[in-house]
Chain A
Amino acid sequence: MTQRVFVCRCEDVTVAEIDHAISIGLESIEEIKRYTGLGTGPCQGKECTVALVRLLLDRGRIGADAVQPFTARPPSEPVTLAELATLEPPRRGKS
């Protein structure tokens, strides 16, 4: 596998960039997300998280039992603002 292989296709994060993040001491998937932008594009990590985990396991950075994906953020799939605009307005106290 060359260093120019993409791990995150949405945000163009390569194996070389993940290796750089590892080399400067970042250990967890949350940190690597916030340093490289991995998982913040249209797929929201659905394509790239597994590839990242495999890479971290291959590099011996984490044990399989310590793997934690980053926090999943709603919505689970992209939704247009127009669709959201048709939802009921928030009720007082339930915001």
Chain B
Amino acid sequence: MSARSALGSRTAALPAECDVAIVGGGVMGLATAYHIAQTSKAKVVVLERSYLVSGASGRNGGGVRMQWGDEGNVRIMMESIEICRGLTQELGINLWFRQGGYLFIARSAGGEARLRRNAELHRSIGAPTRLLSGEEAREIVPELDITGVKLAAFNAEDGVVFPWPFVWGYAGQAIKKGVVVRTHTDVLAAEHDKDGLRLRLGTGETLWAKVVVNATGAWSHDLNRSLGVELPNRPHRHEILSTEPLKPFLDPLVVDLATGLYFSQSTRGEIVAGITMPGPHDTGTTVDQRSSLGFLAHLGSTLVSLMPRLGSLKVLRQWAGPYDVSPDGEAIVGPTPGHPELVQVCGFTGHGFMMAPAVGRILANLIVKGERHPMLARWDPARFATGNSDRREDMIIG
């Protein structure tokens, strides 16, 4: 492997055929490629339409938490955080992983009930979540205005990462293990050919694969539609901002359940913040990555009232990225109904990045060994057609 393509390239040579073609060079696709290459001799190709880190994997807030409302999600994030602990060494790149915890605050009776239920669940499966009063929350974040706070929940093992090196790290190691990562190459369509799929590429090339993985998240419709597949996940624009860097002063990522505001201090020192926006949400399939002044206004006023000292902090930049929202908030992972050669890994509804370390391994084990992790039953892409879709999670933020 030449140094020239150590992180993928538009000129990486494609084979005519491969075992697994992964469409989408985000964290899901690259983590999956890495684990397949680590556990098998399969020939793997990753195709990315733009450059790596161009999509949602390069646009999210980097939060990593095990504080979920549903047992399966808590467990999968315990698995993911366990992987994160050794991942800087494993991938050979600084991921800026910092376990400062997640602090949830509740101001309503409903929010309080959710945090109590979560803490009980977490205790029963060994996730170290503690319930705190408003005053105790202020011991962790002294600048918080705790007026009206009924209850808070804190888990010291939750944390934040810097998403960019995470993606580069998986790419670099996957390539070292023989994966071909081709950037700036669009997949126009997939067609059945022999017992696999043939991908027609925007460059005029074609690539045949025994298995194709659709890891394009919010952009997944076009590839699915070329095979006549309709799945109900839809892109939803989510905005975020970051500020000038400060010396470390804020340990946890703070989430205000009442407003959907979240903010953390990255290891680079910036405050990174996002919020649930009022107003109707776009339900089309087009990804919208525009930034808005309305977001700055709404986030600014909400954040400053929760933590008035941040008022003098300057915002350096804002951007947007898509959540890939599935109707029941559950991911869509596994063979596609009617097209078993096409494997989905989509629909993560805003928490795909944090789950990717575990999901990459789970999906690789499915593809290589046929091993079925318990979460694959509920993530089954066929559930929408069979009416087995069920909303289990009420801790989706943003």
- Decide if B298 touches A81 in the complex (CB within 8 Å): no
* B301 cross-chain contacts in A, Cβ below 8 A: 84-87, 89
Q: Which of A80, A89, A94 contacts B314 (CB 8 A)?
A: A80
Known: A25-B9, A42-B244, A81-B311. A87 touches B296 (CB 8 A): yes
A27 an interface residue at 8 Å Cβ cutoff? Answer: yes
A-B pair number, CB within 8 angstroms: 132
Chain A residues touching B, majority SS: loop
A94–B290 alpha-carbon span in the complex (Å): 12
A91–B304 alpha-carbon span in the complex (Å): 20
A42–B317 alpha-carbon span in the complex (Å): 9
A79–B304 alpha-carbon span in the complex (Å): 13
Among B58, B172, B301, B318, residue most surrounded by chain A Cβ atoms (within 10 Å): B301
Known: A35-B7, A79-B315, A84-B315. A28 touches B297 (CB 8 A): no
- Decide if B9 touches A73 in the complex (CB within 8 Å): no
Quick one: closest B residue to A73, CB to CB?
B317
- Decide if B292 touches A95 in the complex (CB within 8 Å): yes
Say how far A44's CB is from chain B's closest CB, in angstroms: 6
Q: Which of B4, B53, B277, B278 contacts A25 (CB 8 A)?
A: B4
Say how far A52's CB is from chain B's closest CB, in angstroms: 16
A58–B296 alpha-carbon span in the complex (Å): 39
* B279 cross-chain contacts in A, Cβ below 8 A: 90-95
Q: Which of B10, B244, B298 contacts A89 (CB 8 A)?
A: B298
- Decide if B6 touches A90 in the complex (CB within 8 Å): no
C-beta contact mask, B312-332 vs A, less than 8 Å → 1, else 0?
A: 111111110000000000000
C-beta contact mask, A17-49 vs B, less than 8 Å → 1, else 0?
A: 000000111111011001101001110100000
* B52 cross-chain contacts in A, Cβ below 8 A: 31, 34
Quick one: closest B residue to A45, CB to CB?
B317
A82–B305 alpha-carbon span in the complex (Å): 9
- Decide if B291 touches A25 in the complex (CB within 8 Å): no
B303 an interface residue at 8 Å Cβ cutoff? Answer: yes
Known: A42-B316, A90-B292. A27 touches B3 (CB 8 A): no
Q: Which of A35, A81, A93 contacts B168 (CB 8 A)?
A: A35
- Decide if A92 touches B278 in the complex (CB within 8 Å): yes
A83–B296 alpha-carbon span in the complex (Å): 10
* B304 cross-chain contacts in A, Cβ below 8 A: 81-82, 85
* B297 cross-chain contacts in A, Cβ below 8 A: 84-85, 87-90
Quick one: closest B residue to A77, CB to CB?
B314
Say how far B116's CB is from chain A's closest CB, in angstroms: 32
- Decide if A23 touches B311 in the complex (CB within 8 Å): no
- Decide if B316 touches A87 in the complex (CB within 8 Å): no
* B51 cross-chain contacts in A, Cβ below 8 A: 28, 30-31, 34
Quick one: closest A residue to B239, CB to CB?
A95
Among B168, B268, B315, residue most surrounded by chain A Cβ atoms (within 10 Å): B315
* A94 cross-chain contacts in B, Cβ below 8 A: 279, 292, 294
Known: A24-B7, A89-B298. A81 touches B315 (CB 8 A): yes
B337 an interface residue at 8 Å Cβ cutoff? Answer: no
Known: A81-B300, A95-B279. A87 touches B313 (CB 8 A): no
Say how far A83's CB is from chain B's closest CB, in angstroms: 8
A86–B304 alpha-carbon span in the complex (Å): 10
A88–B280 alpha-carbon span in the complex (Å): 18
* A44 cross-chain contacts in B, Cβ below 8 A: 316-317
A23–B141 alpha-carbon span in the complex (Å): 43
Say how far A36's CB is from chain B's closest CB, in angstroms: 10
A74–B294 alpha-carbon span in the complex (Å): 12
* A81 cross-chain contacts in B, Cβ below 8 A: 243, 300, 303-304, 310-315
C-beta contact mask, B1-35 vs A, less than 8 Å → 1, else 0?
A: 00111111110000000000000000000000000
A82–B8 alpha-carbon span in the complex (Å): 42
A37–B165 alpha-carbon span in the complex (Å): 10
Q: Would you list 18 pairs from A and B whose C-beta atoms are within 8 A, ordered by A residue?
A: A23-B3, A25-B4, A25-B9, A31-B52, A34-B58, A35-B7, A35-B164, A37-B164, A74-B318, A80-B314, A81-B310, A81-B311, A84-B299, A85-B304, A87-B293, A90-B278, A91-B279, A95-B298
User: Known contacts A25-B4, A80-B315, A81-B300; can you find 9 more A-B pairs with CB under 8 A?
Assistant: A24-B172, A34-B164, A40-B317, A73-B319, A79-B296, A82-B312, A83-B300, A84-B299, A92-B279
